[in-house]
Amino acid sequence: MNRRAFGSAGEDFACEYLRAHGWKIVDRNFRRGPGEIDVVAQKRDLLAFVEVKRRTSARFGRPAEAVNWEKRRRIVQTAAMYVQEQGLEDAKIRFDVIEILGPEIRHIEGAFDATGLFD
């Protein structure tokens, strides 16, 4: 399985997990400028921008550790474009990470926010 297929399968798994936990998948692979949002999910009045990271082992660290400062900055910028395009300026939003390590899945709710990303 190539890297793209591996990542896509991880996103599919993450979406199944979210649905099973009451989330509605609103969008996937939203791309604008240099950024991409893997999954946009909604639960009641909350809109979550979800970054999915998948690895087969923790040899090089946990998957969520790959969501570094620069990656977070691009996600936040792209989410701002999404919110504006969809007319959701008043929406309650959150940035989550779903990490998949082998068969284990972990949903990190509120994994980061925009604090300090644009200072």
pLDDT per position as a tens digit, 19-33: 999 999 999 999 998
Q: How far apart are alpha carbons 102 and 34 in whole angstroms?
A: 29
Give percent of the chain above pLDDT 90: 75
Cβ neighbours for 77, distance < 8 A, ≥ 6 positions apart = 33, 34, 35
- CATH class of the region 3-112: alpha beta
Q: Where are the domains of the chain?
A: 3-112
Q: What pLDDT, on the 0 to 100 scale, is given for residue 34?
A: 83
As a whole number, mean pLDDT of residues 44-63 equals: 92
Neighbour tally for 21: CB within 10 Å: 10
Length in residues, the chain:
119
Q: Which residues contact 43 (CB under 8 A, 6 or more apart)?
A: 22, 23, 24
Does residue 118 contact residue 75 with C-beta atoms inside 8 Å? no
Give the pLDDT confidence of 88-108 residue by residue, as tens digits.
999 999 999 999 998 899 999
